[in-house]
Amino acid sequence: MSLSADIASLLRADHGDPFAVLGRHGGRVRVLRPDAKAVEVLCGAGTFPAKRLDDAGFFEARVDAAGSYRLRFTAHNGHVWEDDDPYALGPLLGDIDQHLFSEGNHWELWKRLGAHEETHGGIRGTVFRVWAPNARRASAIGDWNGWDGRTHPMRKLIPLGVWEIFIPAVAEGAHYKFELLGHDGQLHVKSDPFAFFSQHGTETASLVWGLGKFKWSDATWMEKRRTTEWHREAVSAYEVHPGSWRRKDGSQFLTWRELADSLVDYVVDMGFTHIELMGVAEHPFEGSWGYQVTGYFAPTSRYGNPDDFRFFVNRCHERGIGVILDWVPGHFPKDAHGLARFDGTALYEHADPRQGEHQDWGTLIFNYGRNEVRNFLLANALFWFAEYHVDGLRVDAVASMIYLDYSRSPGEWLPNAFGGRENLDAIQFLKRCNEVCYQLHPGIMTIAEESTAWPGVSRPTFLGGLGFGFKWNMGWMHDTLDYMAKDPLFRRYHHGQATFSLVYAFHEHFILVLSHDEVVHGKGSLINKMPGDEWQQFANLRMLYAWMWAHPGKKLLFMGGEFAQRSEWSHETSLDWHLLHYGFHSGVQRLVQQLNCLYRNEPALFDQDDTWEGFEWVDLHDADNSVLTFLRRARHGTTVLFAINATPVIRENYRVGVPNGGHWREILNTDSEHYGGGNIGNFGAARSEPVPWMNRPHSLTITLPPLAVIALKAED
């Protein structure tokens, strides 16, 4: 191509190899700067004026001095400034980095792609890299070059398809995007998929941001976490939408640093062990609650900058609270600045809409069969563990990932190579992701929101499982809420719903969940699902919570549920904290606090909750009275008896078989006046009698309060 043709192509911004023309070539230095009236090259002790070869801003200077050089620009308004030449350097991304990315095994990919402040040849600036293999041209545009795609076209690294450029003097805080001339001939202006900090809403620029400034002080927590086996520990998570937990002046978001005080103090006081955060990764639409992500490597700027979020996590760890993030590798939105049709082709998404489009949510599905896409997602999971010290990832919508026919009618999906409906690429990705995360970050947890009967979701991959640490128990949630919604008069006919979860309770490592999904979209709040008058509604809710904490499995409760919020959750407003001025609501809050305390202090409730050795039915057949009795056992032998009375009838002199004689202390009674109940119970204790009952050598005669749960602990 002739120089004139190169110039024309550069000025049209469709030149595929700008480094072959711009910069120093022999004794000539060529510069494309549309905003400059004149250019001079400063080299050695000499100044070499450049000749304008095109009125649009293409300059060439003859330079007969050796060594490095700088450029001096004169703007059309007379302003003069100096800068280093971005086109003076050769390729910067190493061969090993390119190889690892191409095969999908670059575990620290975020350290190479995106925008990074670096020093090269003694010059400080920012290197920009973006993967866009099918783009005809890529440019870094930002507030330093007037968002002009002609000014800083990038070098394409063949065959990987990563474009890069080092731009001197661009520093932290600079706003930028990538302008791509797509394979389709159209311009695509995109936010950086690897940006660490981004705008949100209608403003969608990425920001240059370094992750090396924050000083962590959670070494004690991190070292303890490394050797923690969460299956044997108490896990009680408080699920939080940061933008609506509490607001300032009724409308303003709390910042991460404000949440580090108020939210963390509250969670500690309530006795939860973990905070599970919705909507942390950057997302443009508030109504998506953070489940339609455009910035996978950027904590949303709604609540502060990346170091503010690190401050929040650090504070949680200092107070002994773990942090779990909701992670969305199943789909992404079609927003023009995001991943969709990134370089004019289906790059991140599957090209066939039968595999690449999520019909329910109007989003796109990742192409898990592509090495680079799998690497993008796996590196993102590792990023949150490595750079933000998070303790767990709750993987959203796993069922939509592993089934090709998820929410599709016949003819709307393609079977796999073996004719089945399993998404083999997605399954392999999930297995590999779990393996690598647990290998590189021992002590973390990955949690699957998986709503089907897929076997072995939380079993290791070497046993044929998907490799998750835990799985949400959606079956328990659906059956239990359906049972609780029944009029107590008719619960005897649905007794099996209350017991069925124990048929499969130990097939997985389960987390019992009452999440945000149960209090939105017209489903109503938890308290409003309960039948009866106000007293019965609150008694039923207290019974539900105690049954949940007594049942094998870890726990998760969505914010507002702990004080029986009446209204359905809305992401646009704060929780109804004023309800705590009313006795029934504050009583439920005290109960949840006490349940967490009891749970964490009684190993019988958690250290064998994935095996029958930690659970034993006493009587599951008393459907006529809607009563359930069972034992929970710790590894060291502590035994706790639970009795649930799901009717508003007081049952006096109710005999329950127990394994040993002696004193049984009442450690929980949800009918206590402390929680808003009628204070019917057993005066704090019961003593067993040598009367055989229910195939046990001893028995207790106790009083069962109405719509309540009591727990008695065997003591010598």
Characterize the bridge pairing of strands 357-358 and 322-327. unpaired
The CA-to-CA distance between both ends of the chain, in Å, stands at 93
Whether residue 637 contacts residue 657, with contact meaning beta carbons closer than 8 Å, is answered with no
- Other Cβ atoms closer than 10 A to 533: 9
- Other Cβ atoms closer than 10 A to 611: 14
Whether residue 559 contacts residue 243, with contact meaning beta carbons closer than 8 Å, is answered with no
Can the peptide bond before residue 159 be classed as cis, meaning omega within 30 degrees of 0?
Answer: yes
DSSP 463-517: GTS---SEEEEHHHHHHHHHHHHS-GGGGGGGHHHHHTHHHHTTSS-EEEEE-GG
SS3 per residue for 266-298: HHHHHCCCEEEECCCEECCCHHHCCCCCCEEEE
Task: Burial-class residue 353 by CB neighbours within 10 Å (0-12, 13-18, 19+).
Answer: middle
Whether residue 337 contacts residue 395, with contact meaning beta carbons closer than 8 Å, is answered with no
Catalytic residue among 84, 387, 396, 610: 396
3-state secondary structure of 633: strand
**Is 449 among the residues known to form the active site?**
yes
**Is 396 among the residues known to form the active site?**
yes
Catalytic residue among 449, 609, 666, 671: 449
Contacts (Cβ under 8 Å, ≥6 apart) of 166? 86, 89, 92, 118, 120, 125, 126, 127, 128
Beta strands in 1-64 (DSSP E): 23-25, 28-32, 36-43, 46-49, 51-54, 58-62
**Integer angstrom CA distances of residue 713 from 377, 542, 661, 673:** 47, 20, 12, 21
**Given the structure tokens 């590196």, which residue do they identify?**
379
DSSP 293-315: -SEEEEE-GGG--HHHHHHHHHH
Give the amino acid at 700: L
| Catalytic residue IDs | 396, 449
